[in-house]
Amino acid sequence: MLVYYAHILCMTFMKWAPTLFAALVGTEHGAEEAGHDAGHDSGGEHHDGPPHLPSLVGLLTGSQGAVYHWVNVIYAFLVAVILCIVAFRVYAKRKMIPDGFQNAVEMMVEGFFEFFSSILGREHARRYTPFLGTLFFYILFMNWIGLVPLGHSPSTSLNITASLAIIVFIYVQFIGIQKNGFFGYLDHLAGQPRSAVTWAMVPLMFPLHIIGELAKPLSLSLRLFGNITGEDVLIAVFVGLSVGILPFLPLSIPLQTPFILLGMLLSAVQALVFTLLSTIYILLMLPHEEHEHEH
């Protein structure tokens, strides 16, 4: 309920703050412009785009300012800083007998290590768990921060999701070249031909494998962007409906509450899907003989 009323307060303030400010400074023309801007930028977003909950950056700088253009980068950087602070705090105050917070972090790390071990094998999981685990928690908190009052989810920007997907793509290709060698990497893309028939299929298989590799970052970025954007828009719409009926009810109905809970679940699922697919892409690049021997 506290989250609900915080959302209501933020959206109401963003709607009427420009008009109130113009009235206080005593400029009639400014009040008209502020009212015009409030109608176009209710909730801190452009009227011709999808609705979003108001963010702190939009509240402080306005949706027309140059700073707001970097709102996704700002919140993505904020999430990275929070995760770094948590990691440094746990490492700096680590104990042989862990306390509650350190124990919780270690349980999550161990759980992910066992999860990746079931896919990659223990030796490869030990090597790639730091990257994949960081990827999961970074995406998860970028998704969740949009559900916090005055927060904003960077995952609603295709630039952010595409950047993450490109990082995964480059890392996977690097692993392929590192583990297989350059000619082994080309052999993998050619479908590992070993007979006359498979060599005859190389002109077909090689372009298909390249297209498949290029399609992976595209699918990763679009899937995450579409699901989180749809989730945020849905919650913003129901918060707007609650604001609309607020004058007629002493206590407005929290229409968006079930969607916030559902959004938390779907955000975790999308972070897990992104990470799981990245894990599978790494697995496909590993030498098959080495993987089979390890299992």
Condensed to tens digits (0 to 9), the pLDDT of residues 159-197 reads 999 999 999 999 999 999 999 999 988 888 888 888 888
85-104: per-residue pLDDT in tens?
A: 998 988 888 888 777 788 88
Global pTM?
0.79
Torsion, CA 239, CA 152, CA 136, CA 278, rounded to 10: 100
Beta-bridged to residue 150, according to DSSP, are 55
The three-class DSSP label of residue 246 is: helix
User: 């298909």: which residue's tokens?
Assistant: 208
Q: Print pLDDT tens along the chain (295 aa).
A: 444 445 544 544 444 444 433 333 343 343 344 344 434 444 444 444 567 777 888 888 877 778 888 999 999 999 999 999 998 988 888 888 777 788 888 899 999 999 999 999 999 999 999 999 999 999 999 999 988 888 899 999 999 999 999 999 999 999 999 999 999 888 888 888 888 888 888 888 889 989 999 999 999 999 999 999 998 888 888 777 766 655 555 445 566 778 888 889 999 999 999 999 999 999 999 986 555 545 5
Alpha carbon distance 268, 217 (integer Å): 19
CA distance 283 to 131: 14
pLDDT score of 74: 93
* 105: amino acid identity, one letter: V
| Full DSSP string of 256-295 | THHHHHHHHHHHHHHHHHHHHHHHHHHHHHS-HHHHHHH-
Report CA torsion sign: 222, 223, 224, 230.
Answer: positive
| Radius of gyration over every alpha carbon of the chain, rounded to an integer in angstroms | 24
Residue 96, burial from CB neighbour count under 10 angstroms (0-12, 13-18, 19+): exposed
* DSSP-assigned letter for residue 48: T
Enumerate the H helices of the chain as residue ranges.
2-25, 28-40, 56-61, 71-92, 100-120, 122-144, 158-180, 182-189, 196-200, 202-245, 257-285, 288-294
